[in-house]
Structure formats: structure tokens, C-alpha cells
A and B are shown apart, each in its own frame.
Chain A
Amino acid sequence: MDGRDAAEFSGGKEDWARAAAEAERCAAFVPDVEEELVVAEGRSCYDCRYRRWSATSFTCHGPANAVAPSVSAHPAVAKRP
């Protein structure tokens, strides 16, 4: 956990296209270990080591400087109140 203000991905767990698009333009993407991959084709936030699953979606815990452009500022992600 890096302690930065984590934001939950508003696309839930099955917005495959948006999770792929986010990861495509993220400099911090690191593939998770094989048994935790749910897409296993190309890049996806769903397969990224830095996504932390929640009951309905995930939050990104990647290095703040690297992911800021694609996650924190992107409309796909809703800040928690």
C-alpha cells in the first residue's frame, strides 16, 4: 500500500475495454502473477499487479507519479467521497 488517495475504477469488474485502454496508456503497468490474471491478453488494469480488488471493482495502488495521468485524472475513475 502506498498510502496515496486510492480511487475506485468506476467500470466495475467487467469493463474489459476500458480496463485495457487505461492500462495501455499507463507507464506503471506490471503484469500480476499468472494465477491472478483474468484477461491474460495484452494489457489490462484487471491484470495489473497494482490493482487491488474490492467487492465491486478495484483501486489502483501503482506509483502515483506513473499512474496519475491515466487513473487519477481519467473520468473512468470516480474519486471516493
Chain B
Amino acid sequence: MRILLSIDDTDNLESRGTGELASLIAEDLELFGWGRSRHVTRHQLLLHPDIPYTSHNSAMCFEAEIDEEALEPLIRHAGAFLQRESAPGSDPGLCVAVVDRVAGVEMLHFGERAKETVLTKEEAYALAARLGVHLSEHGGTGQGVVGALAGAGLRLGGNDGRMKGSLDIAGVMSVADLLGVPGVDAIQGMEGETVAPEDLVRVADKPKTVMVGGRSVLMVAPAQPEDGVRWQTLHRRELRRF
């Protein structure tokens, strides 16, 4: 079964990031033979004085294909892990959604609202109960359940977030070769332009992919024509809207 596991509010100014904890849970999932995980994504939520985030208010989410009997052990493991590893003063939340069982539109709508308005724990728990989604808190005020559910909703929508980590490539490469790089599902122009397999792309050091149409997409923009190079990858600064 395909699941989404999303966490939020696990860090403080000195601790490891929420992304690292998400990656560690994803690694454990594979280590225990429960299934295979894919791409950890970062989802920006609302920045507002009434929301008690540490410094950025972002949720981290990954997708996994797991055995059905692994679902409960995974939820228990992730919950205990967050309880143990989250930073002092944080308010961690965990969401695990079975993709085929949830009403995606409602979850996505919650995620979109969490980017624009202040939502409460009560709203998050009520929606999770209605959709049959696991939602739990693991310390502090547990406020992270809002971001955890929102992160899963946004990931389910497939058009939000940047991938955690960067690609270990640089130089000039063809689109066809770039599509063979692990972590790249597609290549697309920032303005929606399509690229041809033989097109050459100038790849800046350690580019990052973003989530578009449920895929990990390497965004490019037209390059100054030189040596037949048609495209160039975008700097992180230009990917902020994802």
C-alpha cells in the first residue's frame, strides 16, 4: 500500500532539522524490511505571529510503498522515535495517511488552507478522524499535528514542496542523461516550456528538484545560447515559491 508519512515541529534552534528526522524514519522503514520510501519533501506553511514555529514553519513528508501489516508497526515506531528524538521545547506531530483510503481533495484543501490561514489542532484532529488518517502528537503542545496533516495533504496534491537534499551533479548534460539521474523524474521549463531529450542543460552545482504533478522535477530556464546549450538549472533563490 502507498502511504504518506509527514512530521512537523520537531526542532529547536540548536537541534537536528525536521528533515533529518524524516529521513531517519524513512531509513528505518527500509531497514526493518517494511517497504521502500521515496523523496522527502519540504512544505512551507503560513508564517504568522499567532503560529508558534521555531524559525520556518515547514513540514516534511515522504511517500512509501509498504506491506499492509507494516502500517501499525511503522506508526508505533515513528511515534516513539519522535517522542525520543524531537528537540526540547518542540511540539511534534505525526501524520500517516494510506493514499488509497483518503479523500485527497479534502486533505489537499487542508494543506492549502494551512499556507494561508491559522488552523487549530482541533480542526486537524477532526479532519483526520473523518478521513481515517493517523494523526498523533508526541511532546510539548502537540501543535505540530496541524503541520503534519497539512504536509501530507500538500504532498498528496503533488504540486508543492522542494525535495530535501540536492543532486550531486554539475556541468553540461543532455536532458536524456539528466533523466537517468536518481531523484529526477522529469525536466521542465519554469514557464511550462517542454524540453527535448537531446537538449543540453547547463547544470549549476548541486541543483534541487521540486514537486510538480506528483513528480520530482528539475526546473530549467532558457540559457544564454553558447556551445549549443539551451537551458540552465535554477538557483535555490528562484525555487522559493515551491
Contacts and interface: CB of A to CB of B under 8 A. Distances in A.
6 contacts: A32-B55, A33-B17, A33-B19, A49-B55, A52-B55, A55-B47
Contacts of A49: 13, 55
Contact of A35 (B13, B49, B165): B165
Nearest to B12: A1
A43 interface: no
A53 B57 CA distance: 8
Contacts of B20: 33
B85 to A, nearest CB: 14
B17 A36 contact: yes
A34 B19 contact: yes
B236 A35 contact: no
Interface string B42-55: 10000111000111
B235 to A, nearest CB: 8
Nearest to B60: A35
B55 A33 contact: no
Interface of A: 13-14, 16, 32-40, 49-55, 61
Interface in B189-240: 206, 236-237, 240
A54 B166 CA distance: 25
A51 B236 contact: no
A34 B165 contact: yes
Contacts of B19: 33-35
Contacts of A61: 13, 55
Contact of A54 (B47, B162, B236): B47
Contacts of B54: 52
B56 interface: yes
Contacts of B56: 32, 36, 52-53
Contact of B58 (A16, A36, A50, A52): A36
Contacts of B58: 35-36
B47 to A, nearest CB: 5
Nearest to B23: A35
A53 B164 contact: no
Nearest 10 pairs of A and B residues by beta carbon: A33-B17, A35-B19, A35-B164, A52-B55, A35-B42, A55-B47, A53-B47, A40-B236, A36-B56, A53-B56
